[in-house]
Amino acid sequence: MEHILLIGHGSPRKEANNIDLIANVLHNTIHPECDSGCVKIAYLQFAEPDITAAIKECIAGGASRIIVHPFFLSPGMHVTKDIPAILSEARATYPGVEFVYTEPLGTHDKLVQIVIDRINAVKFDAPEDIEKRSFEIIGDEVDLADLPPEQIPIVKRVIHATADFEFRRTLVFSPDAVETGVAAIRKGANILTDVEMVRTGINKRLLDKWGGKVVCNITDEEVAGTSSKSGRTRAEIAMEKGLSGTAGNVGIVAIGNAPTALLKVIELLAKEFPQGPTPLVIGVPVGFVKALESKMLLSAQKFPFITNLSRKGGTPVAVAIVNALLRMAEEK
């Protein structure tokens, strides 16, 4: 069995001893399905574990081959003499174990890009500068040219909120989705959400300009009482209340958490929305039970929708879609 051992210098400053973060990312990258802890760390001085203890731990874990990487920038005395001396003793102590010693980080060309990134980072101290640069990076890393122009700001904002480029291919829009959502905002229509987290994340400053408000009934006492008596979820009852004849003025329904809420909305809107024009339904619940099924059902409806055909989704996605529409309404 092969183990990898990252060796850092170590520091009296405790928070500086953090190469375990690098080790975790390395392990997840090269051994994504491994749970044996085959990437370990050690420090030359000032911190634990030391190199000898880490080697012993690797061998106790079944390692017959240990790749040792000095996480140092240059081949100084520590890299060329101190660590090799410790490894020489380890080879004598464990003759049946193969030790492979790599070069340090050195002058690899990718380090130049890291320096460039660090230099560029100081240019983006203001939140709007950070967001602008983030969207530029997204544009550089994924080709959105074949998407309808009105969908691109939404896809970008979802990727920005999740750092997940998979949404580029899994987000699905009805033909009139974006137009319906922007028009609803500009008319001062309300936004109905399934949970408080979605309600909280929506940009109220942009929405207030048009006169709309965000409505969430999940914590309503009447909803809670009906749920306890009927055995149905609060989420679906909250949707019923939000779309009832007395609720009024709902232009967008944003569901980021509860599949039961989305299924209830589909049921209600597939019949006839009592307030006239059907609202845009943003249905992106996350999870393993009924989440994908509810989104697939939404994608087959005739009323306006935006959804994501995968298990992924959640509050950040729902909020990102709504906030993208709010910005588009302002720009238009």
CATH code at position 22: 3.40.50.1400
Same domain, 97 and 22: yes
pTM above 0.75, yes or no: no
Residue at 125 is within a domain: no
Contact call for residues 150 and 175 (beta carbons, < 8 A): no
pLDDT at 117: 78
Same domain, 96 and 147: no
- Predicted local confidence at residue 221, as pLDDT: 86
Q: Is 108 a catalytic residue?
A: no
What CATH number is associated with residue 146?
Answer: 3.40.50.10230
Q: Render 286-316 in DSSP notation, one character per residue.
A: -SSSSHHHHHHHHTT-SS-EEEESSS---HH
Output the pLDDT for position 114.
86
Which of 43, 78, 101 lies at the terminal end of a domain, its last residue? 101
Same domain, 79 and 222: no
Active-site choice (9, 78, 108, 160)? 160
Quick one: pLDDT at residue 215?
93
State the number of CA atoms in the 13 A half-sphere of 315 facing the CB: 9
* pLDDT given at position 9: 95
Residues 201 and 95 grouped into a single domain: no
**Residue finishing a domain among 101, 132, 164:** 101
Q: Does 94 share its domain with 174?
A: no
Q: Edge-to-edge strand order for the sheet containing 98-101?
A: 39-43, 2-8, 65-70, 98-101
Question: What is the reported pLDDT for 76?
Answer: 93
- What is the arrangement of strands in the sheet containing 190-193, beginning at the earlier edge strand? 171-173, 305-308, 280-283, 250-255, 190-193, 214-216
Its domain, for residue 24, covers 2-101
Q: Rounded to an integer, what distance in angstroms lies between the CA atom of residue 215 and that of residue 207? A: 12
In a domain, residue 80? The reply is yes
Give CA separation, 205 vs 96, 281, 320, 321, 324, in Å.
67, 22, 15, 16, 13
Overall number of domains in the chain: 2
pLDDT of residue 101: 97
E strands, the chain, are 2-8, 39-43, 65-70, 98-101, 171-173, 190-193, 214-216, 250-255, 280-283, 305-308
Same-domain check for residues 155 and 293: yes
d(CA 128, CA 133): 9
For the chain, 332 residues long, the average pLDDT of each consecutive 10-residue run is 95 92 91 85 95 96 95 94 96 96 90 82 65 80 89 94 92 96 95 94 94 92 85 89 75 94 91 69 93 94 94 95 96 72
Identity of residue 29: T
Residue 278 pLDDT: 86
Q: What is the pLDDT of residue 244?
A: 80
Please give the pLDDT value at position 134. 80
Cis ω before 259 (30° cut-off from 0): no
pLDDT at residue 127, as a whole number: 63
